[in-house]
């Protein structure tokens, strides 16, 4: 079989992971990144298409009649017209739950950054402020314990559950808001506005749907505590960027940590670039080496299962 990998750069920027594992399934053509107008040509007569964000729509599928399988280096599959793929007998499989530990870890890196203020104190020390201190301990920047703080989690899939476990280990009070009430959930479950109102930290782990697009808006931000912190590692459009920037700049909330934005790569025009107390990372929460290795393993397992007639993680 012929395999076209359309955006390998999104899996391995520095070459730390190779495509050798994919070669067991057939002849592999690797493209670093694919522009929309290049998609059909880059797929050519391939039987298997592997990608992360490349748009695989009706036009692409019609132009590439050999496609039998589309495998995603991602959990999300909104870049593939899965309904039309099903009509054409094309199997589409995603890679779920590969990044749970890495994303949860980054959420707590954000939380600890905010509560322990390590970066701020490092800057103060290097500016000579400790050397000028009249006492052995220099602590003008407020810090706080996580124990007893309320952590609100929007979305209770594998990542949301892992974040809740870590929060509980730190002694935080956990509040969950999710579309479907989970069975045997050990935490308080409530609606999203109530969760936001109670939160000292609110973190988003929901999929992007019509219902969650713009979920973090002026309405939600207006009920939050002025001392509260917002975290988003889910999907950028879950947050209304103009509303969040206004809330940060006016002091309606204290801080925000974002790993995803409405437009990626980041637009220079986003109001969050200059917003007060807004920390932005370039969609890195999922990108730990171990996580990406696991992702490739899952993609290979999916191909193997499909070839054996029992597809796993099929989304159409």
> pLDDT tens for residues 23-34?
999 999 999 999
Q: Which of 38, 264, 290, 304 is catalytic?
A: 264
* Range 222-260 burial, b when 16+ CB lie within 10 A, else e: ebbbeebbbbbbbbbbbbbbebbbebbeeebbbbbbbbb
Active site residue 235: yes
Q: Where are the alpha helices (DSSP H) in 157-191?
A: 158-169
If pLDDT is split at 50, 70 and 90, which confidence band does 232 have?
very high
Q: Is residue 96 scored above 90 in pLDDT?
A: no
Q: Which of 161, 162, 205, 235 is catalytic?
A: 235
pTM above 0.85, yes or no: yes
pLDDT at 181: 85
313 vs 174: CA distance, rounded Å: 30
203 vs 107: CA distance, rounded Å: 8
Rounded to the nearest integer, the mean pLDDT of the chain is: 97
Domains located in the chain, CATH noted: 2-97+289-307 (3.40.50.720), 100-280 (3.40.50.720)
Active site residue 283: yes
* Structure token digits, residue 240: 């209304």
* Range 178-205 burial, b when 16+ CB lie within 10 A, else e: beeeeeeeebeebebeebbbbbbbbbbb
Active site residue 219: no
Mean pLDDT of all residues in 138-150: 98
Mean pLDDT of all residues in 131-157: 98
Percentages (nearest 5) of helix, strand, coil residues in the chain: 35, 15, 45
> pLDDT tens for residues 239-261?
999 999 999 999 999 999 999 99
Percent of the chain at pLDDT > 70 equals 100
If pLDDT is split at 50, 70 and 90, which confidence band does 117 have?
very high
Q: How many residues does the chain have?
A: 316
Percent of the chain at pLDDT > 90 equals 97
If pLDDT is split at 50, 70 and 90, which confidence band does 76 have?
confident
270 vs 4: CA distance, rounded Å: 34
- Are 144 and 255 in contact, with CB atoms under 8 Å apart? no
């Amino acid at each position: 079989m012929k395999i076209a990998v359309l955006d390998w750069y999104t899996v391995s920027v520095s070459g730390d992971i190779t495509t050798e594992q994919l070669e067991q399934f057939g002849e592999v053509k690797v493209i670093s990144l694919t522009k929309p107008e290049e998609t059909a040509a880059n797929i050519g007569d391939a039987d298997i298409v592997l990608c992360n964000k490349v748009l695989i729509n009706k036009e692409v599928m019609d132009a590439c009649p050999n496609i039998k399988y589309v495998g995603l280096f991602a959990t999300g599959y909104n870049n593939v017209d899965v309904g039309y793929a099903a009509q054409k007998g094309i199997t589409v499989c995603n890679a779920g739950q590969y990044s749970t530990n890495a994303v949860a870890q980054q959420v707590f890196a954000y939380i600890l950054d905010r509560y322990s203020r390590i970066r701020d104190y490092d800057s103060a020390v290097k500016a000579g402020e400790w050397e000028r201190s009249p006492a052995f301990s220099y602590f003008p920047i407020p810090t706080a314990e996580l124990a007893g703080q309320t952590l609100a989690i929007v979305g209770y899939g594998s990542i949301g559950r892992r974040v809740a476990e870590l929060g509980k280990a730190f002694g935080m009070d956990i509040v969950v808001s999710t579309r479907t009430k989970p069975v045997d959930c050990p935490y308080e479950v409530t609606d999203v506005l109530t969760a936001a109102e109670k939160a000292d930290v609110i973190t988003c782990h929901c999929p992007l749907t019509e219902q969650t697009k713009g979920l973090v808006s002026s309405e939600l931000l207006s009920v939050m505590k002025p001392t509260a912190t917002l975290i988003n590692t889910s999907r950028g459009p879950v947050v209304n960027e103009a509303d969040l920037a206004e809330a940060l700049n006016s002091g309606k909330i204290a801080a925000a940590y974002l790993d995803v934005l409405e437009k990626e790569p980041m637009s220079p025009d986003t109001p969050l670039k200059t917003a007060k107390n807004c920390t932005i990372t370039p969609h890195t929460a999922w990108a730990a080496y171990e996580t990406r290795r696991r992702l490739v393993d899952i993609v290979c397992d999916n191909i193997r299962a499909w070839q054996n007639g029992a597809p796993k993680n099929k989304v159409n």
